[in-house]
């Protein structure tokens, strides 16, 4: 499988570690990996037959690809998606709210339009352009997969695709933003909002500008992505009713805790009068609600359907390895599909 990487941060490097490990060929669902390009926003880019293990080591040692690297290129990611010879575009850039998911949406669209599969861990394209991109993939007979965009690698979308068939998703609720959850947990232990943010930054989780998390934008993007995929909504993060944790005081957090309850930032969607209502807001959660057990960076999603009692999926303490695994699982899905078609993956 010929892969073009757009983005080569922590997730991509962890993925590289798995597929270049000597145990890789013995795993189930394994496939041969050939990297034909590796593009970063500010650390230089490579085009050609990339040695993945070496590229990873180089980036981790020196922080960038040397200008004298023989594969070093000045091609843009859009040019690469249009011109390089690959089977799968692996898009791993961060969420861009103000730019409405761009430039990732254009990179993905250009790959799909060429009949190439796309895997992304970026929720932006699913939150802003799911309908368009899914239709393009369908027309071209290729896959557009994004398991890691919500709840890291927890098999949410893969599960929904094969395991909620025939069901109508009526509603969902989730704790989906680890940074704000960790900040609220920090405040329960007596810290301030600012200290909670600083702790999340020190742990390498929150962005330098934490407003995307704190103001609920990340949650809104995940809510929109889930509503678009699970409920056939056609919403963007701007349509999600959104209240972040910025105005939550330590007093409120501690008062709830004293009453045996916890404050959580909860993402919700439900059908009401023919429309799909979406929201992100701080809620008080009772002690006998599984949401109250979600600590730090953990995540939970409760799905209500018309043919089953509610299902709850929880991921305990996800980290970068989980996100990388979600991308890997999507690649395995593509490799398996191609295999079923009798093509060489």
Query: What are the residue numbers of the active site?
Result: 222
Q: Is 207 annotated as a binding residue?
A: yes
Provide the 10 A C-beta neighbour count for residue 283: 17
For its own copies, the binding residue among 85, 307, 342, 343 (CB under 8 A) is 307
Of 92, 105, 160, nearest in space to 323 by CA: 92
Residues pairing with 272 in the sheet: 275
Q: Pick out residues in 61-90 that bind its own copies (CB under 8 A).
A: none
Q: How far apart are CA 299 and CA 147, in angstroms?
A: 14
Q: Pick out residues in 127-186 that bind its own copies (CB under 8 A).
A: 147, 153-155, 158-159, 161-168
Are 214 and 198 in contact by the 8 Å Cβ rule? The answer is no
Residue 201 binding its own copies, by CB under 8 A: no
How many Å from the N-terminal Cα to the C-terminal Cα in the chain? 5
Q: Is 264 annotated as a binding residue?
A: no
Smallest separation (angstroms) from its own copies to the CB of 255:
20
Q: How far apart are CA 209 and CA 201, in angstroms?
A: 9
Q: What number of chain residues touch its own copies (CB under 8 A)?
A: 46
For its own copies, the binding residue among 225, 318, 334, 338 (CB under 8 A) is 318
Residue 166 phi, psi dihedral angles, 5° rounding: 80, -20
For its own copies, the binding residue among 25, 27, 189, 339 (CB under 8 A) is 27
Q: Pick out residues in 272-301 that bind its own copies (CB under 8 A).
A: 287-290, 293
Of 229, 207, 208, nearest in space to 218 by CA: 207
Smallest separation (angstroms) from its own copies to the CB of 232:
10
Provide the 10 A C-beta neighbour count for residue 62: 10
Are 189 and 195 in contact by the 8 Å Cβ rule? The answer is no
Smallest separation (angstroms) from its own copies to the CB of 325:
5
Residues contributing to the site for its own copies (CB under 8 A): 18, 27-30, 147, 153-155, 158-159, 161-168, 287-290, 293, 307-319, 321-322, 325, 328-329, 332-333, 336, 340
Binding-site residues for NADPH sit at 123
């Amino acid at each position: 499988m010929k892969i073009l990487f757009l983005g080569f941060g922590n997730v991509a490097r962890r993925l590289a570690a798995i597929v270049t490990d000597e145990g890789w060929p013995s795993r189930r669902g394994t496939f041969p990996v050939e990297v034909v390009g590796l593009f970063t926003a500010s650390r230089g880019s490579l085009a050609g037959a990339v040695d993945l293990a070496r590229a990873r080591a180089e980036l981790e040692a020196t922080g960038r690809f040397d200008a004298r690297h023989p594969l070093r290129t000045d091609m843009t990611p859009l040019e690469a998606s249009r011109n390089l010879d690959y089977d799968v575009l692996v898009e791993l850039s961060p969420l861009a709210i103000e730019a409405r998911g761009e430039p990732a949406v254009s990179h993905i669209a250009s790959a799909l339009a060429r009949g190439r599969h796309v895997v992304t861990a970026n929720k932006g394209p699913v939150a802003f352009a799911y309908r368009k991109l899914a239709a393009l993939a369908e027309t071209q007979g290729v896959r557009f997969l994004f398991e890691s965009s919500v709840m890291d690698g927890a098999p949410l979308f893969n599960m929904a695709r094969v395991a909620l068939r025939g069901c109508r998703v009526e509603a969902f609720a989730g704790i989906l933003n680890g940074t704000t959850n960790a900040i609220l947990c920090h405040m329960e232990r007596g810290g301030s909002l600012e200290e909670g943010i600083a702790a999340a930054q020190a742990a390498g989780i929150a962005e330098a500008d934490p407003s995307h998390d704190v103001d609920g934008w990340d949650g809104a993007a995940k809510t929109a992505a889930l509503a678009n995929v699970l409920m056939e909504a056609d919403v963007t993060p701007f349509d999600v009713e959104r209240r972040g944790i910025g105005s939550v005081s330590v007093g409120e957090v501690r008062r709830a805790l004293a009453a045996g309850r916890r404050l959580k930032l909860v993402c919700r969607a439900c059908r009401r009068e023919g429309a799909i209502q979406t929201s992100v807001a701080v809620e008080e959660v009772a002690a006998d609600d599984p949401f109250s057990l979600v600590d730090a960076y953990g995540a939970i999603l409760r799905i209500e359907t018309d043919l089953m009692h509610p299902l709850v999926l929880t991921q305990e303490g996800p980290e970068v390895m989980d996100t990388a695994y979600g991308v890997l699982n999507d690649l395995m899905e593509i490799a398996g599909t191609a295999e079923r078609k009798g093509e060489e993956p």
